[in-house]
Amino acid sequence: MIGELACSGIGEKLEDETRVDVVKSIEELRANCQHNNAVLLSELREDVHSEALLKLACEDAALGRMCMPRTAGGAEMREWLLNPRFSAEQERRMAAPKCAR
């Protein structure tokens, strides 16, 4: 899926100068992989649930949904577009917090 999503009406609309550029094609994504990956890596911080996220990512890889997680670097930075994973805690009554995908 490539393109601009329709506005959901939730949250505040960003001003044009802070807006992320809309990707028009897969070729454009491929051409900017190294730059986009460098920006992403510079902004990442460890998630509170990083161990659970790694376990979930490995399970997804075992199902063929993605490649197995590994240290970023080398040719992959130019050829693959990295995607962050993050947790969202959902409190349950009378139970421990659940780490969601």
Count of domains forming the chain? 1
* Mean pLDDT of the region 76-86: 84
Strand partners, 99: 89
Residue 32 has what pLDDT?
87
Name the more confident of 17 and 36: 36
Number of helices (H), then strands (E), belonging to the chain: the values are 4, 2
11 belongs to a structural domain? no
82 belongs to a structural domain? yes
Residues 88 and 47 sit within 8 Å (Cβ to Cβ): no
Q: Give Cα 96 distance to the centre of its chain.
A: 26
Q: Could you read off the pLDDT of 3-13 as tens digits, one per residue? A: 667 777 887 77
1 belongs to a structural domain? no
The model's pTM is: 0.57
15 belongs to a structural domain? no
User: Residue 53: which domain range?
Assistant: 20-100
